[in-house]
Copies of this chain bind each other. A is one copy, B any other.
């Protein structure tokens, strides 16, 4: 497709996937990307798709998660403004987590990702099997 001879004068502009944004933003975008694509983040966001949930409800909604990771993930999400944390001063105490508007915008993508995984995991399992059998093409 592309002749490799253009590498001489492209010192200023990086031909990368992030080239749409100024260089300074790239780190942050990476950071955001890392957080958003994170395993637990994805699952927590998805778990909140039908409305607010309490801490223990979340823990039950996400089978494999440990207390530590749930707490950490929720704090990150709260810090980033993706979820709200509402503590009711009651006895017994009650804390609810819910998606913010920003969180909802991410939800769409997260749902897409989960759907994708659900739709193609069979193909992928198959591909892996074939690859492991004989180093295909």
Report the nearest B residue to A100, measured CB to CB.
Answer: B127
CB of A70 within 8 A of chain B? Answer: no
**Are A43 and B17 neighbours in the complex by a CB distance under 8 Å?**
yes
**Are B11 and A128 neighbours in the complex by a CB distance under 8 Å?**
no
**Are B51 and A2 neighbours in the complex by a CB distance under 8 Å?**
yes
CB of A91 within 8 A of chain B? Answer: no
A23 CB to closest chain B CB (Å) equals: 10
**Are B131 and A79 neighbours in the complex by a CB distance under 8 Å?**
yes
- Which residue in B17, B37, B84 is a CB contact (below 8 Å) of A137? B84
> Residues of A with Cβ closer than 8 Å to B?
1-2, 10-11, 14-18, 20-21, 25-26, 28-34, 36-39, 42-43, 46-47, 49, 51-52, 60-64, 78-81, 84-85, 102, 105-106, 108-109, 112-114, 116-118, 120-121, 123-128, 131-132, 137
